[in-house]
Amino acid sequence: MSHSKNTWTALLIRCQSAEADKIRHAAKQERRTLSGYVLHAVLQRLAVQEKVRRTVLRWAEKAAFNAEKSVKRNLQLPLGDSSPLHRSGRPADELR
């Protein structure tokens, strides 16, 4: 099977006529081709989505770190004893 150098792939985007008119107008305003305008819009949204994803991951990491710190602060294991103690020094099960 031979491949020609000029192969094209079509992408069909379905939308309302009014939306299509808005997109064509916006593309014309930005002096972009329709496909260039759509590609630019998609890439912008992907960049925003990636930024949000990184922010959420940072928050989740901070929350996990703080939770771990809190657990370590509230439970103390004295040397040679396997029963967890509360900060007060009393066994944790007595505090319930």
pLDDT at 64 over 80: yes
- Label residue 5 by pLDDT band (50, 70, 90): confident
**What does each C-alpha distance from 42 to 14, 30, 39, 65 come to in angstroms?**
15, 15, 5, 34
Which tokens in the block code for residue 40?
């630019």
- Label residue 88 by pLDDT band (50, 70, 90): low
Q: Residue 9, class by beta-carbon neighbours within 10 Å (0-12 exposed, 13-18 middle, 19+ buried)?
A: exposed
Kindly report whether the global pTM for this prediction surpasses the value 0.85.
Answer: no
- Label residue 66 by pLDDT band (50, 70, 90): confident
